[in-house]
Amino acid sequence: VYHSSFVGEEGITKACGFPLLPLKSHIKGPAPVSDQGKTDIVDEAITFFRANVFFRNFDVKSPADKLLIYLTFYINVALKRLEGCRTLAEGTKAIINLGLENVPVPGESGFPFPGLFVLPQSQKEAELLRNYLKQIREETSGRLLSVAYRPNGTPNKWWLAFANRKFMNIIIP
């Protein structure tokens, strides 16, 4: 299992056990902005996805690993949606539709990891996490499209083949 390098990040805000790590993003949201030249958690999730998706268990060593688990699951869901899309335009439409769906937080139905994260202590914390997850999912989707499709707009079979994998034995609807 590949673990996140964001161990012991000082001064990072947390919500429900999720660290709100900085992102290289132009998308509005609660995430702090990271330097464009630095690796962020989305880069790690995409880089480690094809190795981590094969594991049924994931030994959590830091709060950032929890976010990595969540993003690995999200990438798996996104690839499942891209599976039937034959062009980048179709894939973009599928990803946009995925982004418009409700983002559940711990304690709500549809949240994939019920025991892994702390329940929100307030509605404000739940909304902060929901907004962060929405932002990070949007950023991940955009970057995923650039690896799941070649520059000419055709699917990259070396990525889309992973749509059929079950991460941590979780069945994707």
pLDDT tens track for 37-90: 888 899 999 998 888 887 777 778 888 888 988 998 899 889 989 988 999 999
CATH 1.10.15.40 for domain 15-161, yes or no, is no
pLDDT band at 140 (very low <50, low <70, confident <90, very high): very high
Domain boundaries, the chain: 15-161
Q: What stretches of the chain show up as alpha helix (H) in DSSP? A: 41-52, 63-82, 88-100, 123-148, 157-160
